[in-house]
Structure 1
């Protein structure tokens, strides 16, 4: 008699499988019991409560020290006092944004500040101070000067002019200049002058003592050795800087340079 066919063997295997129940993989996918769910839920609650206690209730993760970096003119103590870090408070409760706002509001010299948590007990205050690119005589306080940064922000009043920082003089001594001052406003003219200062060649910037602003398009520089540079407006600053460098090399003994129209520069005097 012929042996069982492949079809017959397949039918027998299916019958045996059905008698022995579902495969092991299917048996392992049974739904968890109510007891298992309750136990898991309790564990999650305990873990959550423990985490909250660790962050807020324990003494392990609390502010114990405050460090400051990046100060130059200001002292670390001034920054810490302005920040008012709540020493002893839970680390997680420290409001970094509010702290940064307080520092910038109380210390205008600060350009940027970053509050960093240094777990488990430290708060770091990383600050960047504004640097003066120009100074202006304080009209309300004789003998004092106001520092102006690269954005035209007047951020501090000092008793003595910082060394190497040019003095800004607004001198609208003509009717047209006065009209320019009224039209653009003093703050706008200061920002334009800052743009000029930011475009000066390094050698020229080192020698610049005074930047005079008579109007929006009449800005000039007074350098060491009695030299004068007529710059004009703040427009085309890069081109003017390149032309001025070339002009000074070509006429090293000149005392008057005019780059207000960079395509037609001029120098004179000796």
Structure 2
């Protein structure tokens, strides 16, 4: 049998050498693609960093304030001390929030938001007084958590005064030692939050003698013995019913809401 011709041997040799060459070309093509993609990504990253930190396009130009009632927007802006002119991305919103809370105790909640591309938005919620404490010629506002957050020269309208008049009796002294003044204030706040709206409108003073001896002095001279801050909803319902049943009474006792009492004096 005759062997392969010279031409056939050349063709086989060419076929055996083609695959390695093709693989090398494929690897080089992939390498070039990877290099190009890497360069593109590096350029995009550098461009993004420059856009956010180095350019003049994304910098703080304005700061807006919303939600103020007693505070003025100017007071909030001054306390916030937002870095106008700085890159917006670099603004530390937590630091601004902390400054506002520290400098303006009247602020209960604050939301500091970047408003792209040039702004910062400050949304505040102020504390609402539920009681006030008179000290000298000033009035200290107390919120629903018992926080004394502001001192004003004019008493807030419709807010009862808080009188902490712990008696010298052994039980009252023991109550003060056990609970502390701050706890007694919170208990008074708890009572103020449970007073029926119609009665709250006429309440001048919330008087605290001990933890379970809290009373209300109303505008027309009537007195309500409330007791502790416990069972506030039940006491409110009982007081409303008792006042309707005894409209001429001057004294009401709902300290035990299941056994209320009223009298003309």
Q: Name the TM-score, length of structure 2 as normaliser.
A: 0.87
Stretches of structure 2 that go unaligned for 5 or more consecutive residues are 1-25
Give the number of equivalent residue pairs.
Answer: 239
Q: What are the Cα deviations for residues 82-104 of structure 1, in whole angstroms up to 9, with x where unaligned?
A: 11100000000000011100100
Q: CA shift at 1:251, angstroms?
A: 1.1
Give the equivalent residue in structure 2 for 1:126. 123
Give the 3 Å change call, closer, same or farther, for CA 41–181 of structure 1 in structure 2: same
Alignment of 1:167 onto 2:164: no
1:155 aligned to 2:152? no
Residue 244 of structure 2 corresponds to 249
Equivalent of 1:39 in 30, 33, 36 = 36
* Two-structure CA RMSD over aligned residues (Å): 1.5
- Is 1:184 equivalent to 2:161 in the alignment? no
Using the alignment, how far apart are the partners of 1:160 and 1:33 within structure 2? 78
Over residues 94-137 of structure 1, what are the superposed CA-to-partner deviations in whole Å (9 max), with x where a residue is unaligned?
00011100100011010010011111111110000101000012
Deviation at 1:182, TM superposition (A): 2.2
Aligned with 1:117: secondary structure?
strand
Unaligned stretches of 5+ residues in structure 1: 1-28
Residue 261 of structure 1 pairs with residue 256 of structure 2: yes
Structure 1 segments, 4+ long, off by >3 Å, are: 29-32
**Aligned counterpart in structure 2 of residue 143 of structure 1, from 137, 145, 166:** 137
For 1:31 and 1:220, the matched residues in 2 are separated by 90
The residue matched to 1:135 in structure 2 has which SS? Answer: strand
1:203-218 to 2 correspondences below 5 Å = 203-218=198-213
- What's the offset of the Cα at 1:30? 8.9
Q: 1:60 to 1:266 in 2, by over 3 A?
A: same
Alpha-carbon distance change, 222 to 54 in structure 1, aligned in 2, over 3 angstroms:
same
Partner of 1:84: 81
Q: Deviations over 1:213-243 (max 9, x none)?
A: 0111000000121111000011111110111
What is the deviation of 1:173? 2.3
